Each structure stands twice: as C-alpha cells, then as structure tokens.
Structure 1
Amino acid sequence: MKKFAKKIAAVALSVAMVGGMFAGCSAASNGDDAKTSNKKTSYKIGICQLVTHDALDAATKGFEDKLNELGKADGITFDFDYQNASGDSANCTTIANKFVSSNYDLIMANATPALQACVTATAASKTPVVATSVTDYAAALDIKMNPTDPTGINVTGTSDLAPLDKQAQQIIDLFPDTKTVGVIYCSAEANSKPQADGVKKALEAKGVNCEYFAFSDSNDISAVAKNAASKVDVIYIPTDNTAASNGAVIDDACTNANVPVIAGEEGIFTNTRAVATLSISYYALGETTAQMAYDILVNGKDPATMNIQQTDGLTYKYNSEQAKKFKANIPDGYEEATTAEATTEE
C-alpha cells in the first residue's frame, strides 16, 4: 500500500510540474484575461413575492431597478424570474422549490411567508437568499438574534420595521383624547404580533389602553374589523400583508363606525384610507436589498455574515380629507398625500 501511495504521489507530482511549466508560459501573457474570463457576466435570480400590494410591489421594483443599474456599470446582466404566490404560503413553497431545482444563482424573498418557504427550500442547496419586507427575522426564522444581526445561515436581507414607539406617539399626537386603540392584524403572519406588542407597550406607557383584534385569514377580516371598530377610539394596523391586501374591507367597517385608522405602512395607508402613517420607502428598501444581492453574487460576500439592514428614510404622511373628517391634529412635518395615494383604488 505504501509503494502504491508513493507511485500515485510521484505521478501527481509529475503532472503538477508539467502543468506548472505550461501555466508558467501562458501566465505572463494572459493571466489577467483568465481571471476575467472566469467571472460570471449573467445571473439568474428568482423572486418569490407573497402577494400583490403597493409596498411589496415597490420593494420588488426597487430591487430589480437597482440591480440592473449596478450590473450595467460592470457589464453584468440579471435575468429575473418573478413569481407571485397570490397570498398563499403553499404557493411560496412551490415557487421556492422550483427556483432551487432550476439552480438559480440567488433567490429574493419578498415578505415573511416567502422567506420562510425559501429558507426551507434551500436548506440542502444553500442557495443564497436575500429577503425584503420582513419585519422581524428572529421571529420569522425562529432563531435568537438581534434585529440587525447576521442570521448565521444562507440568508440575509432588509427589515421594514418602522419605529413602533414613534407610531404609538403618532396616534397620541393626532388624537390626544384617545382612550382605547384597537390593533387589527393577521395571527398567521409571524411579524404582526411583535409589532402589535411594541405599539401596545408604548401606548400603555402613555396611559392609553390597547386591545388586540386578530384574524386568521381574509375570511375573518370583515367580522373582526367591525367588532374592533365598535369598541375603540382609533384603529391601528401594523405592517401586515393580509390586512394590506384587504384594506377596502377594513375601510368599510371603520367608515361605517366612524372610527379613524392609523396605518403602519403606505400600502395600508392607501388601501384603508387611513388618516396618517409613519412609513418607510419600500422602493428604497428594495434598492438596499439589491445592493446586498450584488455583494453576494459579484463581490463574493457570505450572506450568513451580512447584517440585516434597515432604512433610515421615514415619512409622515396624512390624508387631508380623512384628517378633516376626524378632526385630527396634524403636527408640523407631515406630508400631504397626493390624490392617488389618498384614494382607494377600485
């Protein structure tokens, strides 16, 4: 066995020496060209978006636009395969598995259920996943981490968490006489309850009562919204995809009860005809996500070691018609929504 091992080693050494001679001859003339030729100039990216609504759509557009901009500067192209799960987590799983079996270079998961499906689908392949429109990665991934820590797995991304204490203060500023706030959210969305808890804690510290009104799916929204609107002074809706997609239903219940709505993000603000919102720019969030994806694909960064990113861009917006109707106290620094933003689309 030792003699055989020595023979193998000798053959390997001879091959290495011959190869080294040829490599040495060519290295001087085209070493840099070889490095360049090994660099990919095209990448295939799968996009799994949970559902269609303004915030998620804006994040996807920001992601695609920014990657195309970055790629153009370096002569790199990106082929996007956009798939919408129509609000169904099972569809997210099907989409994610398809991306993995197709050997895509990277997957972008837009919203928490999409992220969860993509993490499961990539457990074996370790395909890089960048996520956006995810509020709480610790809750979504069921791991212990601070809000901006790396995940330690093949996942990184951006968080759409707005400052909950400031959103609570917004309610008090707009409606100083508020005694009870009702929080409407979907119990099936991992990110919604932590937001509700954060706003409740901040409100109760200011002496304002806060009650939860949770629905399990879109079939329950109307009944839950009507019940909430009959019992509270103001409705608050956190960043919640199911609520955003069914904003007209919540708007109808609150309008009939003559109760104002404060929204956790702009899509809900628009779709529920809320009085106001303190929201981030989801387009900018998508752009940040794109830069992270570019760093992984082109610059060789490891998603497991990349910190979760948040956006600093916060905007206070109000609907002048609804503010007047509910006699809201609009502080300085608020931006009036355009007609298109303030009107619910049919």
Structure 2
Amino acid sequence: MLAASMAACGSDGAGSASSGSSKEESKTESKSESSGSTGTSSSGSSEEKQTGDGTVYNIGICQLVQHEALDAATQGFKDALVEKLGKDNVKFDEQNASGDSATCATIMNQFVSSDVDLILANATASLQAAQAATSEIPILGTSITDYATALDIDDWTGVTGTNISGTCDLAPLKDQATMLNELFPDAKNVGILYCSAEANSKYQADTIRTYLEEYGYTCKDYTFADSNDIAAVTTSATSECDVLYVPTDNTSASNTEVINNVCLPAGIPIIAGEEGICSGCGVATLSISYYDIGYKAGEMAVQILQDGEDISKMPIESAPNVTKKYVPARCEELNITVPDDYEAIEG
C-alpha cells in the first residue's frame, strides 16, 4: 500500500509539471498566432538573421497624424528593429490616429488587449494615450518635444522612472531665437503661431519667447484650437507682425499649405521649429533628423526586448546633430539673404 501511495504521488508531480509546460507552450503558440494577425505587419525571408531564441516580437505603433516628420520617425524606428532583429522576428501593428487624441486612446487600448511586447508612441498625444492605457507594457516615445511637460512630471531628471522612455525632437530653442535674429535683426514684432491643444507647442512658445525678448523683439502668441482656425489666426498674425515663428507642432505640420497661402502673399517670413514645417511654409529652420530620432528609439527597443534593459532607467535621447537649413525659392521671393553656412532644402 505504501509503495502504491508513493507511486501515486510521483504520478501527480509529473502530471503537474507536464500541465505547466503545456500551458507555456500554448501561450507561446497563441502569441505567435496573434502576431501574424496584427494590422500592418512586417514579415520577411527565413534567410534574415534570427534572434537567439527565435522569438517574434509584436510591436504596436501609434502615429498621431501623417506628415513628413512623423513618417520619417516611424520609418527610422522600424528600420532599426528589422536591421537589429531580422524581419522574421518583428511584426508591426501600425496605426494612424488622423490627428485625433480620442483615436489614439482607442488604438492604445487595442494594443494592450493584444498584449503587444512594446509600444511606439509617435507624437505627444500618442504618448499621453499610451501612458493612460498601460503601466506594464514598455512604451517608447518619439517626436516628443518635452517629456516632463507631456507626462506632467515635476523635478525632471532625464528619466521617467516608469515604463516610458524614448527620443526627443527639440532643437535648441535659444539657437532658434539666434537664427531668427541673424536673419531679421531689424524686425520689431514676432508672432508665435501654434496649436493651443498641443502642450509641447505651448512649452516651446513660452521658452523661445524669453530668448526673443532678450533680443528686443515684441512677441505675441497666435493660437488656434484646430485646423479650422488656422487661416483666420494666421491672417491676424500677418497683419500685426514682421516675422512669425512656428514651433514643432503637429497641427501646423499638417497644414503648412494653408499657412503658406496666407503668409507668402503677405510677405511675412516664417522661422520653423523643424524641417517639414519649414519646407511647407518657412524660410529657415534649425533642423534635426526625424529619421535619426526614430532609429535611435528603435535601438532602444532592441535594448529593452532583447537585452533586458530596464526602461525606467533609460534616459531620454536627443538628436545627435542640428543643421541650419533654408528654402531657396521662398527666400528669393521674399528677398532674404541667407549666410553661407545654411544648407538648402530642395524640392
């Protein structure tokens, strides 16, 4: 009887271990199946290099709106992951919120329900939606001007201390003010044009105003709530200002043609916070590469997913370089002479 009892105990123990293994295998299979059914996915040849254990990582990407700068950041992120992990080992569920914060929230909740391995939040509204959706899944931001402002963090130290890190798209605002003064030393009134719904745009406006006033300019904010107000607000700004400054602002970036159609006929030049806006309606910018900051975010993702780095301790990364750039045709039309150290934006 004792021998039979011991045999029964041994059978129970083996059965329990087998059951745990079965559950783990089932979870792995389920994860693999769900990764294949995500929205916009990336798959490739079996000849691509594999991760050490053959893991397939599912990445959710939420981009606030489609425009040149954010598109470049997303592409850089994806390129880094594919290059580092191989096409067979990473799948992307890529979603665009069409400029709507509520849609960002819906997308993020879908990513959480799908149990993605990591989220890329491209632009501030996407990052804020991701923060609200999960405190567990690693979140990398990109095209974020100021993380402390976006995430409402006091006593900023350079790291969030949470499941969030990423890359910053802010070119030095003091240097942008210097650029404006270099090109327009005789201007008196500077209008700062931006969307009031974008917290990071307000941060840039408040910061650069101090630098501009040190040069003796009189500054005034001209804000619009959404794209419906842009033409009217821009018209008001051109009637009262000698030059406009448009910070890195997603609503402006999506409506540069509207802004240009008001400012260019009025003869009012624009210094832009980034190259995409400058190309669409500006004369000059101190530019970063959005592809580069997206790529850097992709490298950070590899460190988290493959190397096991603690995202809560990862510092926010900035663009490695800034470049003075100008739009030759617009500068010529407005009779603006640009120093030799500026690089032309073609097209």
Query: In the alignment, residue 328 of structure 1 is paired with which amino acid?
Result: I
Query: In the alignment, residue 138 of structure 2 is paired with which amino acid?
Result: P
Q: Does 1:328 align with 2:340?
A: no
The question of whether the paired residues in 2 share the 8 Å contact of 1:215 and 1:221 is answered with yes
Q: 2:141 aligns with which of 113, 123, 131?
A: 131
Give the % identical residues. 52
How far did residue 38 of structure 1 move? Answer: 8.8
TM-score (norm 2): 0.84
Task: Within 5 Å, give how 1:164-243 maps onto structure 2.
Answer: 164-243=173-252
The question of whether the paired residues in 2 share the 8 Å contact of 1:145 and 1:151 is answered with no
- Which ranges of structure 1 fall in alignment gaps of 5 or more residues? 1-10, 20-35, 341-346
- Equivalent position of 2:323 in the other structure: 315
- Whole-Å separation in 1 of the counterparts to 2:276 and 2:93: 24
The question of whether the paired residues in 2 share the 8 Å contact of 1:111 and 1:134 is answered with yes
SS of residue matched to 1:157: strand
Q: Does 1:105 align with 2:105?
A: no
- Equivalent position of 1:29 in the other structure: none
The question of whether the paired residues in 1 share the 8 Å contact of 2:54 and 2:89 is answered with no
Q: Does 1:45 align with 2:59?
A: yes
Query: In the alignment, residue 57 of structure 2 is paired with which amino acid?
Result: Y
The question of whether the paired residues in 1 share the 8 Å contact of 2:195 and 2:223 is answered with yes
- Equivalent position of 2:152 in the other structure: 142
TM-score (norm 1): 0.84
Query: In the alignment, residue 116 of structure 1 is paired with which amino acid?
Result: Q
- Equivalent position of 1:7 in the other structure: none
Provide, for residues 257-312 of structure 1, a one-character-per-residue CA deviation record: whole Å limited to 9, x for no partner.
2101111101101222x111111000001010001111111110111111001012
How far did residue 76 of structure 1 move? Answer: 6.3
Residues 37 and 239 of structure 1: CA distance in aligned 2, closer, same or farther (over 3 Å) = closer
The question of whether the paired residues in 1 share the 8 Å contact of 2:279 and 2:345 is answered with no
Q: Does 1:159 align with 2:168?
A: yes
- Equivalent position of 1:65 in the other structure: 79
- Which ranges of structure 2 fall in alignment gaps of 5 or more residues? 1-8, 18-49
Query: In the alignment, residue 285 of structure 1 is paired with which amino acid?
Result: I
How far did residue 184 of structure 1 move? Answer: 0.3
Provide, for residues 193-250 of structure 1, a one-character-per-residue CA deviation record: whole Å limited to 9, x for no partner.
1101121111111111111001111111111000001100001100000010011111
SS of residue matched to 1:230: helix
- Equivalent position of 1:290 in the other structure: 298
Residues 111 and 321 of structure 1: CA distance in aligned 2, closer, same or farther (over 3 Å) = same
- Whole-Å separation in 2 of the counterparts to 1:175 and 1:190: 28
- Whole-Å separation in 2 of the counterparts to 1:330 and 1:175: 10
Aligned residues: 303
The question of whether the paired residues in 1 share the 8 Å contact of 2:51 and 2:89 is answered with no
- Whole-Å separation in 1 of the counterparts to 2:340 and 2:279: 21
- Equivalent position of 1:279 in the other structure: 287
Query: In the alignment, residue 340 of structure 2 is paired with which amino acid?
Result: D
Residues 208 and 37 of structure 1: CA distance in aligned 2, closer, same or farther (over 3 Å) = closer
How far did residue 144 of structure 1 move? Answer: 1.5
Q: 1:83 aligns with which of 95, 100, 103?
A: 95
